[in-house]
Amino acid sequence: MAFIPHTAEDVEQMLGAIGARSIEELFDEIPAAVRAGPLAGIPEPLGEMAVGRLMMERALADGMSSAFIGAGAYEHHIPAAVWQLATRGELYSAYTPYQAEASQGTLQIIYEFQTMIASLTGMQAANASLYDGASAFAEAVLMAVRINRRSRSQRILVPRTVHPHYRSVAHAITSYQGIRLEEVEYDSRTGRTPLAALAAFDGEDLAALAIQQPNFLGVLEDVDGLSEWARARAIPIIAVVNPISLALLKPPGAWRGAADIVVGEGQPLGVPLSSGGPYFGFMATRMEHVRQMPGRIVGRTVDLAGREGFTLTLQAREQHIRRGRATSNICTNQGLMVTAATVYLALMGPRGLKRVAASCHARAHELLDALTGIAGVRAAFTSPYFHEAVLKLDRPAGPLLAALARCDIVGGLDLAPHYPELGHALLTCATETKTSADIAAYAAALRAVLQDAQSAQHAPAA
Amino acid sequence: MSEIPADLKYTKTHEWVRTLPDGTVELGITDHAQHALGDLVFVELPELGRRLAASEPYAVVESVKAASDVYAPLAGEVTAVNTALATTPEQINQEPYGTGWMVRLRPADSAALTRLLSAQQYAEHVGPEEN
């Protein structure tokens, strides 16, 4: 879709149509005190050539780093066909199509996407996507409160093993609606949420339980045990999952206490890391809750002549119809990212996705074996993990990561700000993009960096 | 002209109230309301035992074009819910005053009934709306 700016003539014509002489006159009712004026710190405009050069210099300054950081956003190989197809004119739209008669291609893509997400998660229905994993989690919290009509408490159990950013976004979005997110502690030896931590809430009025699988610390939770606890008490279950991992792990719909709402970050499915966005969130649920699901849903139907077609459905609870009493203020989706994800999933197929997941798992084990072979580095937990794990170090992770960055290695995430009780801890990840040589290079660099830190410590004061 | 049975009480928001022999009241939406909404596809009903305040939205009726709140004409406790509507919401279109009833309430204050509209008052209220 081309970007077509207004010409001076266009502006002139539009002003003429409404009888204003200038843009200044059009806006003259806005008091001077509330006008923004020129923005401080924003440089003068540049020509295209100069902008291209500036961006190239900035990109080169980043280097060609080898990234072993995950923590919610994951580097995966994206086949060239994904973005070649996603940016075709027929499909290239960032917005949900209202006009079914003009948007069958986009609508069918979204419909196929929903079907794939429902199938991956073991649910019956999925929406057309949300903004990202964190806001999808917040929407799941709001939805859980709506579907649990037995509970008056609006208290949601959220283990500390759920992504810290997801927890803070959910808090920001839901706290002013009277919803309370109650932390559940994890076992510092296993990195899991123990059933005993839930037992403390036995008999209390709870609106929902959230479970992240694999959890933020990379560990596989006892999803059967946790979900069964909630199911036995008729507490709705929110599952937060990594879509790639679902090719190997039991889908939340098949947990012993089947999940009611499944959400997650869709970025691993064909969307580049791209400095943090745009990404997309996904959400799926069971049919019994489908009317409480926020966002757009595309349905398959037939026209008057009996021909198959696709259209937006279940819109009656959306904001443009229900105003303040709408199910959610989300009335859109991440069309372009979803198009890429649909192409990615179609190219991979169930077998391809399983190979990607298995390769991630194998690489993460190789990484952990290599790194824990270094003196002063050990695995924090004993539990199984997918493609990410916590390392305990004998000195603070922050300076070590900075030293690794100078060797063009992004070693992982320093957990100190989020989990200070873990001591010097680092969350590290390997996906199918890492070769044995990459892993060996990381291990060699970490060994060198640790040795440097050690000798600096023991060096006699100058 | 929509049907407005003479033996029922009404609200300006198009709910009807029938007093049952045991002193409880049956609630639903009027023929006028069902006609204005169009074909209903879903009805969300309250839990048994829930205490409703007067004018509180207690149910949602969803048609192909809109989802609308249904308000409690008077305060009371829900003693019965027409669960058949979960699978056959069209009963509200077909028999709004019969099989399309929504819930039964034990009124907190039966005097509240006298403050509702009579059939004639309701007919006058919808009169101008009808066109």
A167-218: pLDDT as tens digits: 999 999 999 999 999 999 999 999 999 999 999 999 999 999 999 999 999 9
Q: Is residue B120 part of a domain?
A: no
CA-CA distance, A100 to A423, in Å (whole number)? 55
CA-CA distance, A192 to A142, in Å (whole number)? 25
Q: Is residue B124 part of a domain?
A: no
8 Å CB contact between A244 and A264: no
Q: Is residue B121 part of a domain?
A: no
Strand locations in A277-423 (E): 281-285, 297-302, 308-313, 377-379, 388-393, 409-410, 413-414
In whole numbers, what is the pLDDT of chain A averaged over residues? 93
Q: What is the mean pLDDT of residues A373-392?
A: 97
| Residue B131, pLDDT score | 40
Number of Cβ atoms within 10 Å of the Cβ of A279 = 22
Tell me A88's DSSP state.
Answer: S
- Number of compact structural domains in chain B: 1
User: Shortest Cα distance from B120 to chain A (angstroms)?
Assistant: 31
Residue A317 sits at the chain B interface (C-beta within 8 Å): yes
8 Å CB contact between A438 and A422: no
Inform me whether the pLDDT recorded for A317 exceeds 90.
no
Q: Is residue B119 part of a domain?
A: no
Q: Is residue B3 part of a domain?
A: no
| Residue A444 burial class via C-beta count within 10 angstroms: exposed 0-12, middle 13-18, buried 19 and up | middle
* Close Cβ partners of B71 (under 8 Å, ≥ 6 residues apart): B11, B13, B15, B55, B56, B57, B58
8 Å CB contact between A330 and A139: yes
Domain A66-74+350-454: CATH superfamily, name plus number:
Aspartate Aminotransferase, domain 1 (3.90.1150.10)
Q: What is the mean pLDDT of residues A439-446?
A: 98
**Residues 138-167, chain A: which have Cβ within 8 Å of B?**
149-150
Q: Is residue B118 part of a domain?
A: no
Chain A residues within 8 A of B67 when measuring between CB atoms: 316-317, 321-322
Quick one: closest CA in B to A317, which residue?
Answer: B67
SS3 content of chain A, % helix, strand, coil (to 5): 45, 15, 40
Residue written as token pair 């109650």: A182
Interface predicted TM-score of the whole assembly (ipTM), two decimals = 0.76
CA-CA distance, A249 to A241, in Å (whole number)? 10
| Residue A330, pLDDT score | 80
Nearest to B69 among A149, A321, A325 (CB): A325
**Helical H segments across B50-130, by residue range:** 90-94, 119-129
Q: Is residue B55 part of a domain?
A: yes
Q: What is the CATH number that goes with domain A80-344? A: 3.40.640.10
Q: Which domain holds residue B90?
A: 9-109
* Close Cβ partners of A1 (under 8 Å, ≥ 6 residues apart): A89, A92, A93
Q: Two tokens at A406?
A: 């100078």
Residue B34: CATH number of its domain? 2.40.50.100
Chain A residues within 8 A of B63 when measuring between CB atoms: 316
Contact between chains at A316 and B63 (C-beta distance less than 8 A): yes
Closest CA to A439 of A385, A324, A359, A383: A359
Q: Is residue B116 part of a domain?
A: no
A334-369: pLDDT as tens digits: 889 999 999 999 999 999 999 999 999 999 999 999
Contact between chains at A291 and B65 (C-beta distance less than 8 A): no
Q: What is the CA radius of gyration of chain A?
A: 25
**Helical H segments across A148-253, by residue range:** 164-174, 195-199, 223-232
* Close Cβ partners of A41 (under 8 Å, ≥ 6 residues apart): none
Nearest to B67 among A149, A150, A321 (CB): A321
A110-122: pLDDT as tens digits: 999 999 999 999 9
A235-291: pLDDT as tens digits: 999 999 999 999 999 999 999 999 999 999 999 999 999 888 899 999 999 999 998
